[in-house]
Amino acid sequence: MGKHGVLLAVSSLPGKYGVGDFSDEAFKFVDMLANHKVDLWQILPLNPIGYGHSPYQPFSSYAFDEIYISIEDLQRRHLLGRVNKVRQRSMADYEKARYIKEQAIWKAFEVFKQNPKNMAKLEKFIKENPYVEEYAEFITLKEFNCGYSWNEWRFFEKDRPEDFKYLKTKHAFAQMILAEEWNRIRKYANKRNIQIIGDVPFYVGYDSSDVYFHRESFMLDRENKPSCIAGVPPDYFSKEGQRWGNPIWNWDYLCEHDFKAMMDRLYFASKFYDIVRIDHFRAFDSYWAINPECPTAVDGEWRFPDGHRFFRRLFEKYPDINIIVEDLGDLRPEVLQLRDAFNLAGMREIEFTIFDDELLNKHIERENMVYYTSTHDNETLAQWIANLSKKEKADLLWRMGEMHIEGKNLCEKLIKYAYRRQERIVIASVSDILNLNKTHRMNIPGVVNDVNWRFKLQGFRQLGKQLSKFF
């Protein structure tokens, strides 16, 4: 029998300070999953969110976003006093959370640095984690330059050396606390027989420490601007395609240097997660390179890197990495051949396969497959059902009846259908478990708005009741 899990971003946990974080609510969520015999908790990237609050445009592929730091943990460490809570809302308030956490980190650091033993511990952490030095320097320089992108910076360490040293050390301190907090959550989850699935974007954000310190690994012009940018051509989600804007990897350079930049990211992720999900896996076989001057993703071309060479080297060096790959959409056969050549677990979604007669009627399962009710990029299951025709709804209800699947509504029946399947892993989104409509969708791909990435729970009571129906 396969494993059953749920999908919920950490930012979507109930949070007392604007967003979900590494506080006691994360442990309560783990307890609830364990009590219902859930095996897996899939999250979204935990890196510092960038443009549009997207975790897929982070300021670093390694660092944690400081909004996730636990106020309660800082208080238990006797580094922080009382902090006013924020009213619980159904949408994450990133601006409020960032302000509160910045103030808390500053106050906690002022207490922390008074103890020489603390500073010795921090120095040791920095030496053992090279990303910390880079990220702390990058984000400090970004603050010096009023948040502007690194290619527009005018002020550097030499302009304010004392401020630079203080702020850089403060950010390093925050990274140490965050790493300790997340490791504690993961250890607690593992102790309760729950594995963590973490998400790794294929691309990195342009305005990131990754690009700033390792420009040679990306396709940049003489002005350090992307010579081409990432996205996908017109597809199911958009007639104009999706223009993500991320810089493209310099595959020639990567090949010459043992794919170090890419492999380091995956290995690092494997130290914090039990299973690593690679977003946009198809780009290891074929990626869409867009002209930066084009306002849409229409003006681009397919390019073909040597993904087989990369994965051969990856598993030679790190044979124990457990990987799931996002292989959704209209793909050329070579993408699936790459997946299967290395026995990588692929993905299927109920919204795109349920009407496939072969899958539904014969109930065929692929052993090395992860089956989803929906992902962060999809309509919620309830929204998808609402958009079906009467005939399609009637057909699904009849087929659920043929399989003796009961439920209060079609959404519940489809989740039970999913969990009944025997793939390696079956994952249901929390928004689907709660039967939430389109106002609770996590993200609309290729769109920047005030709603994306803001889905947030106010509590666990209703979720606990719903989980009892499936486990």
DSSP states along 23-79: SHHHHHHHHHHHHTT--EEE----S---GGG-TTS-S-SSSPPGGG--HHHHHHTTS
Residue tagged active-site, from 21, 137, 207, 326: 326
- Please enumerate in sequence order all residues whose Cβ is within 8 A of that of 228, keeping only pairs 6 or more positions apart, or say none: 219, 248, 289, 290, 291, 292, 300
Residue 404 lies in a domain: no
CA torsion, ordered 101, 103, 105, 106, to nearest 10 deg? 160
Residue 411 lies in a domain: no
pLDDT per position in the chain (471 positions), as tens?
689 999 999 999 999 999 999 999 999 999 999 999 999 999 999 999 987 898 988 999 999 999 999 999 999 999 999 998 888 788 999 999 999 999 999 999 999 999 999 999 999 999 999 999 999 999 999 999 999 999 999 999 889 999 999 999 999 999 999 999 999 999 999 999 999 999 999 999 999 999 999 999 999 999 999 999 999 998 766 788 889 999 999 999 999 999 999 999 999 999 999 999 999 999 999 999 999 999 999 999 999 999 999 999 999 999 999 999 999 888 999 999 999 999 999 999 999 888 875 445 444 445 689 999 999 999 999 999 999 999 999 999 999 999 999 999 999 999 999 998 878 899 999 999 999 998 899 998 877 888 899 999 999 999 999 999 998
Residue 399 lies in a domain: no
Residue 397 lies in a domain: no
DSSP assigned state of 462:
H
What type of residue sits at position 61? S
Q: Is 377 a catalytic residue?
A: yes
List the structure tokens of 28.
């309560």
**Spatial distance between the Cα atoms of 77 and 115, rounded to a whole number of angstroms:** 13
List the structure tokens of 424.
């390696």
Q: What is the pLDDT at residue 358? A: 46
List the structure tokens of 185.
């959550």
| Domain carrying residue 337 | 3-391+418-470
Instruction: Give the bridge partners for 218, in sequence order.
Output: 249
Residue 403 lies in a domain: no
What sign does the CA torsion over 383, 3, 29, 466 have?
positive
**Spatial distance between the Cα atoms of 301 and 50, rounded to a whole number of angstroms:** 26
Task: Say what the pTM is.
Answer: 0.94
Q: Which residue has tokens 């607690």?
A: 188
Residue tagged active-site, from 134, 279, 285, 327: 279
Q: Which residue has tokens 């994360």?
A: 26
Q: What is the pLDDT at residue 361? A: 47
- Please enumerate in sequence order all residues whose Cβ is within 8 A of that of 381, keeping only pairs 6 or more positions apart, or say none: 350, 351, 373, 374, 411, 414, 415, 429, 431, 432, 435
Q: Is 326 a catalytic residue?
A: yes
Residue 378 lies in a domain: yes
| CB neighbours of residue 103 within 10 Å | 12
List the structure tokens of 248.
């493209």
| CB neighbours of residue 386 within 10 Å | 14
| Tally of structural domains, the chain | 1
Residue 409 lies in a domain: no
Residue tagged active-site, from 134, 207, 377, 412: 377
- Please enumerate in sequence order all residues whose Cβ is within 8 A of that of 372, keeping only pairs 6 or more positions apart, or say none: 7, 347, 348, 349, 350, 418, 426, 427, 428, 429
CATH of the domain at 188: 3.20.20.80
Q: What is the pLDDT at residue 74? A: 98
CA torsion, ordered 385, 451, 183, 87, to nearest 10 deg? -110
| CB neighbours of residue 303 within 10 Å | 14
Q: What is the pLDDT at residue 449? A: 83
Residue 407 lies in a domain: no
What type of residue sits at position 376? H
